[in-house]
Structure 1
Amino acid sequence: MRISIPTNHNFYEEFPLTDNQLKEKFGVRSEKDIKNNLFSATYEFTTESKSLEQLQIFGFKNNRNKLEEDKQLILKLYSKEYPNERKYIVQTGLFAGVLYHKGCQFNITTPYGEVFLKRMLNFVNDIYIDNQESKVAKSTETNEFQNIIAYLFIQSLEKAAVMGLPKVYQTQMQRSHKVRGKIDVNAYIKHDFPFQGKLTTSFREQIYIQEIIDVLYLTCKKLEQSFGKEIHRKIHGIFQLLKQNYSGIYAQHTTIEKAKKHSILQNPMFGAFKNVLMYAEIILKDQNLIVQNQNDSLATNGYLFDISQLFEVYLEKLLSRHFTDWFVTGQEELNVYSDLFYGRKMFPDLVMKHKETNKVIVFDAKFKKMRSIKKDVDRSDFYQIHSYIQYYQPNVLFGGLLYPFSESINTVKAHSKSLFGNENNPHSFIVDGIFIKIDMTMPNIMQSEKEFLLRIEELISMATIFND
């Protein structure tokens, strides 16, 4: 059984499933079996759930904003009595991917389409493979989860290889006219006596670890088949080195295991290759990020990606590239009441600081449904961003919440000229973002970005004039 649902789905129980819809959504099994398996009790999976040990969660940035007391929703299943019948609720958080639970495969998708997903991923890694769509015959097997894992592999390999590919010292033997290292006396007596002009010597030399080289090279080649050669642009030098040292033998399961468990990965210099090889294994095993085992008794497992982090990084890079006079940072650490028992840390998603003045703009990025209606602005998000704005007083120009909007943005209804609507507090508060529809093309998305940036420009100009 499979069901596809978007991230941030059904947060307000807007789309409960009826008995008939259960059968349609879940396919071949009877309604009774589905209800008994999936909705016989409330199942809530969060980032703190101990039952998710076999679930791999991938992020796009440092997780320091995920404090221990924070609990993030992944998936929740439960039933609820309505006046005339019992209905069934499926809720999701901000993680996209595949989760397998009680014989059902949940494909949690990004709600704004593959084109916008690629656009965000492009900003994360500065790789623009979307331009290759008309030139490269992409595999029909490619899905959005493969797109994500491909970018994560490229990003992690680029960073891990800054200090070079993993090498180990190994003793080598050489028989030549030149002496390199130390002479092998036993070999000299056996082969070179009487002396004929050549000596056998042994020496220590650093060599690449063949299993790791083979796994990484074959992963790059597999990505090339799906995305074209442009996918290697960020790691061109690394790819050429891998190609030169490839053994020519296709990596088997044992090869991947040897690469993952090699002792060199315990060296802090090469520890980052653990994640690289983890992504490589998923790609090489051709799992398409779909859990294959249909045994209902297995623990809940699968692959998930923190799409909210991806949206934050996308906006951070979009703003930093456009506003060159500002420093744009993500997850700036704020220590509040540090000397008191209730002290804690806060992490605004995006902070813009002018390079010449002390002026500040602060945003929180929310990859949640936004239709320009009141209930789409979560209460905790609303209070949190106001706390950040107050923290940066008196240097703050304005702040707000940034979303992917499913409706055209009306600034008259979304921008307040004063904080809390209080004319005595002249700092603007805005709800804004990128207007996105699922069928939008890349040029349309780029136009939405431009319109968003122009609105921020105008707000900066107005706030600067007022403060001057």
Structure 2
Amino acid sequence: MKQLLIKDNQYRPKSDFCEVRDIVNHIADKTLAELEKEGIFVFPSSVRVSEDLSNDQMILQSYNDKYVSGNVMGFLGVGTQRIVIESRFSRDEKDYFFQYLLEKVLKFPNFINFETSVNQDDRLFSLLLFLFPMYLRDAMRKGLFKTYICRQYNDGNVRGTIDVARHIKKNSPFIGNIAYSNREYSYDNYLMELVRHTIEYIKGKNCGRKLLSTIKDEVNQVIKATPEYRAGNRKRIIDDNIKNVVRHAYYHEYRSLQQLCILILRNEQHQYGNGTQNVYGLLFDGAWLWEEYVNMLIGDEFYHPKNKTGDGAQRLFAGNFGLIYPDFIGKDNNERIIADAKYKPLNNISGKDYLQVLAYMFRFDAKKGYYLYPEADSLNDVSLVLNKGMTYENNVSKREDISVVKCGLHIPNDMRNYTDFIEHMEKNERIFRQKLLC
């Protein structure tokens, strides 16, 4: 097994990737849209949910004699080669920070042990399983997936197209039945069968039934909707779904669910790459995880508009012009605060970041703004006071009433184990909240 550990948003010499050349040949300079079609699962859906990812972004991009990694964390593999992308804010060999974000934001149980597991494939498979309830729940908010399917019959009640060849084969000599096929609108279709096979597969895994108990109603609906389920049809159902990708915009949640189910079930066939040269992987948007994590810490005191879902849309101008989505808007209208979550180091917060937050502060009459970022080096917060006046008139001076603060949440490193990491993180979270809400 050949494995390479890298960080997100990192430049590495191309020579470092020699032992994982097969993976690099599959993913280098390819967009997320291209890689998702090849079997790499991106969470959340890059276009639908995440503001910080787009389909034209890349996991590894060539830059002279180096590769630069993107804003994602996770696992990639081809054959016996693996690439693990960790958070750049974890300085330890164990990426406790990434694990902590997954547990907090996605409610992953902490028995996915990142500390002791030496098998990245087992870790990846566990993550896929624990994503399934979330994706099934989201998809079934649209109701059961229903589509046209072609069914074959052989009886005396003809209500479709007669299949001459099959009729001769099955009904010679003639005994009163007619072989025919009919196109019907049905819940028991290729996709719902795929979901049913995934449910049955998860039931046989450790903690599978406990996991499915969190979506008991959805599971029961799928089982009732798939009376044609046969365990021996699994390979055919997988192949049918690979050929028939859900494309209708209304069912985009089912498209993600379909991709996840295929990835889970193909694990049984290929054991994640052993004996095959297909690329596979599971990637998480680091910026999205960080923003949702911050929302868990301060969401009781801040509104949290969401761009991709359209929740909490605001406008800069009267007449419904200038659509904006600030990350966080303080609920106290007497001392309004604007906060922006940034998954980047302190020194990388600059330029357009300043202009964006100041525009939001002006729009909502806020005197104070914050950049909320993960801090790995124990640096002090930086307070920036807005200027007034112009150099042309030689009257530049600072304003005492408007400021923007780069406020970091310290990420502990050099921890002996994950339990110590959690203890220090919870202490730092309390300090972080106090700085914002004092």
TM-score, normalization: structure 2?
Answer: 0.66
Contact 1:316/1:330 (<8 A) preserved: no
The alignment status of 1:120 with 2:101, answered yes or no, reads: yes
Q: Corresponding residue for 1:234?
A: 214
Contact 2:133/2:215 (<8 A) preserved: yes
Q: Give, in whole Å, the separation in 2 of the partners of 1:292 and 1:313.
A: 39
Q: Corresponding residue for 2:350?
A: 382
Question: What is the Cα deviation at residue 447 of structure 1?
Answer: 4.4
When residues 79 and 273 of structure 1 are mapped into structure 2, their CA distance, relative to the original with a 3 A threshold, is closer
Contact 1:2/1:26 (<8 A) preserved: no
Contact 1:121/1:148 (<8 A) preserved: no
Q: Give, in whole Å, the separation in 1 of the partners of 2:220 and 2:23.
A: 49
Q: Secondary structure at the match of 2:371?
A: strand
The alignment status of 1:311 with 2:289, answered yes or no, reads: yes
Q: Corresponding residue for 1:154?
A: 133
Contact 2:2/2:82 (<8 A) preserved: yes
Work out which of the residue numbers 50, 62, 65 in structure 1 matches 2:51.
65
Mapping for residues 424-435 of structure 1, pairs under 5 Å: 424=400, 426-435=402-411
Q: Give, in whole Å, the separation in 1 of the partners of 2:145 and 2:219.
A: 14
When residues 38 and 277 of structure 1 are mapped into structure 2, their CA distance, relative to the original with a 3 A threshold, is closer
The alignment status of 1:402 with 2:373, answered yes or no, reads: yes
- The amino acid of 1:416's aligned partner reads S
When residues 130 and 169 of structure 1 are mapped into structure 2, their CA distance, relative to the original with a 3 A threshold, is same
When residues 255 and 317 of structure 1 are mapped into structure 2, their CA distance, relative to the original with a 3 A threshold, is same
Q: Give, in whole Å, the separation in 1 of the partners of 2:38 and 2:71.
A: 19
Contact 2:3/2:82 (<8 A) preserved: yes
Percentage identity across paired residues of the two chains: 13
Mapping for residues 27-426 of structure 1, pairs under 5 Å: 27=19, 45=29, 47=31, 54=38, 56=40, 58-60=42-44, 62-63=48-49, 65=51, 72-77=57-62, 89-97=66-74, 105=81, 107-111=83-87, 112=90, 113=94, 115-125=96-106, 127-130=107-110, 142-167=121-146, 208-209=187-188, 211-223=190-202, 225-243=205-223, 245=226, 247-259=229-241, 270-286=251-267, 287=270, 290=273, 293-294=276-277, 302-303=280-281, 305-319=283-297, 322-331=298-307, 348=326, 350-354=327-331, 357=334, 359-366=336-343, 368=344, 370=345, 377-378=347-348, 381-391=349-359, 392-393=361-362, 394-403=365-374, 405-407=375-377, 409-410=378-379, 413-416=380-383, 418=385, 422=398, 424=400, 426=402
Q: Give, in whole Å, the separation in 2 of the partners of 1:439 and 1:279.
A: 35
Mapping for residues 451-462 of structure 1, pairs under 5 Å: 451-461=428-438
Q: Give, in whole Å, the separation in 2 of the partners of 1:51 and 1:274.
A: 15
Question: What is the Cα deviation at residue 453 of structure 1?
Answer: 4.1
Q: Give, in whole Å, the separation in 2 of the partners of 1:451 and 1:109.
A: 25
When residues 154 and 142 of structure 1 are mapped into structure 2, their CA distance, relative to the original with a 3 A threshold, is farther
Q: Give, in whole Å, the separation in 1 of the partners of 2:398 and 2:275.
A: 57
Q: Give, in whole Å, the separation in 2 of the partners of 1:281 and 1:151.
A: 15
Question: What is the Cα deviation at residue 311 of structure 1?
Answer: 1.9
Question: What is the Cα deviation at residue 351 of structure 1?
Answer: 1.3
Contact 2:52/2:288 (<8 A) preserved: no
- The amino acid of 1:283's aligned partner reads I
Larger Rg: 1
Q: Give, in whole Å, the separation in 1 of the partners of 2:341 and 2:62.
A: 28
Question: What is the Cα deviation at residue 326 of structure 1?
Answer: 2.7
Q: Secondary structure at the match of 1:427?
A: strand
Contact 1:168/1:207 (<8 A) preserved: yes
Q: Give, in whole Å, the separation in 1 of the partners of 2:9 and 2:71.
A: 9
The number of equivalent residue pairs is 376
* CA displacement, residues 177-200 of structure 1 (integer Å, 9 cap, x when unaligned): xxxxxxxxxxxxx99xxxxxxxxx
Q: Give, in whole Å, the separation in 2 of the partners of 1:161 and 1:95.
A: 27
Q: Give, in whole Å, the separation in 2 of the partners of 1:416 and 1:325.
A: 21
Q: Give, in whole Å, the separation in 2 of the partners of 1:94 and 1:67.
A: 8
Unaligned runs of 5+ in 1: 81-88, 174-189, 192-204, 296-300, 371-375, 462-468
Contact 1:124/1:310 (<8 A) preserved: no
Q: Secondary structure at the match of 2:216?
A: helix
Question: What is the Cα deviation at residue 214 of structure 1?
Answer: 3.9
Q: Corresponding residue for 1:373?
A: none
Contact 1:6/1:110 (<8 A) preserved: yes
* CA displacement, residues 356-397 of structure 1 (integer Å, 9 cap, x when unaligned): 55713211321x5x5xxxxx622xx42233122211233142
When residues 338 and 282 of structure 1 are mapped into structure 2, their CA distance, relative to the original with a 3 A threshold, is farther
TM-score, normalization: structure 1?
Answer: 0.62
Contact 2:291/2:341 (<8 A) preserved: no
Unaligned runs of 5+ in 2: 154-174, 177-183, 388-396
When residues 429 and 216 of structure 1 are mapped into structure 2, their CA distance, relative to the original with a 3 A threshold, is same
Q: Secondary structure at the match of 2:293?
A: helix
- The amino acid of 1:365's aligned partner reads K
**Cα RMSD for the two superposed structures:** 4.9
Question: What is the Cα deviation at residue 235 of structure 1?
Answer: 1.4
Q: Secondary structure at the match of 2:329?
A: strand
Q: Corresponding residue for 2:162?
A: none
Contact 2:53/2:285 (<8 A) preserved: no
Contact 1:362/1:398 (<8 A) preserved: yes
Q: Corresponding residue for 2:156?
A: none
Contact 2:313/2:324 (<8 A) preserved: yes
